[in-house]
Amino acid sequence: MLKARAAELGRDADVLAFDVTDAEAVRNAFAQIDRLDILVNNAGIIPRKPVLETTDEDWQAVLDSNLTAYFRLAREAAKLMVPQRRGRIIMVSSIMGLLARPTIPGYVTTKSALHGLTRALAVELGPHGITVNALAPGFVPTDATATLHADPKFNEWISTRAPLGRWCQPEELAGPAVFLASDASSYITGHVLVVDGGLTAAL
């Protein structure tokens, strides 16, 4: 899909498929990259279990995918960006880094921690010309939220909770991501850009 879309735009794209929770696979993938200008960290899982039913294995799996993998990829990206004194790292987070819902303790924890990681990396990598920011989407219809989106009561609740009165559409995240990846955001770093239709602004 990526190669086809790039061809439509008159560009070329290569695809490297690897498990972001596998440290060796990540190192091997980055060893094949000569130059990197933009990293969009966008991987994760969201198991839904009450805290009393969440096992150590469940907890660790979320940490590995939603936080450790983000750190690992950002570190490897920075190794390529520091010598060129330029780069953009974008963490795809969630408003669950600002709020919380039941049955997703690991997800809420990792998204909160991701905001701290964004600030920590922004401070350390800023002197090298690298900006690090995060996107915090509200509720978006994806595979991960399919159950919620299909629930009429929850759907209605989100539509009345967010001032814009609806869910965010996936394509509405493209503009904010392009902004953070472009020179238009050259003096913005350590920031969490919330894209939630005003949900977190409303009581």
**Catalytic-residue membership of 107:** yes
Q: Which of 107, 114, 134, 196 is catalytic?
A: 107
Query: Rounded distance, CA 168 to CA 92, Å?
Result: 14
Query: Whose structure tokens read 């919380």?
Result: 100
Element (H, E) at 175: helix 174-181
Instruction: Write phi, then psi, for 173 (nearest 5 degrees).
Output: -90, -15
* Phi and psi based region of residue 192 (left: phi greater than 0; alpha: psi -120 to 50; beta: remaining): beta
Query: Rounded distance, CA 3 to CA 9, Å?
Result: 10
How many helices and strands, by DSSP H and E, does the chain display?
Answer: 8, 4
Report the catalytic residues.
107
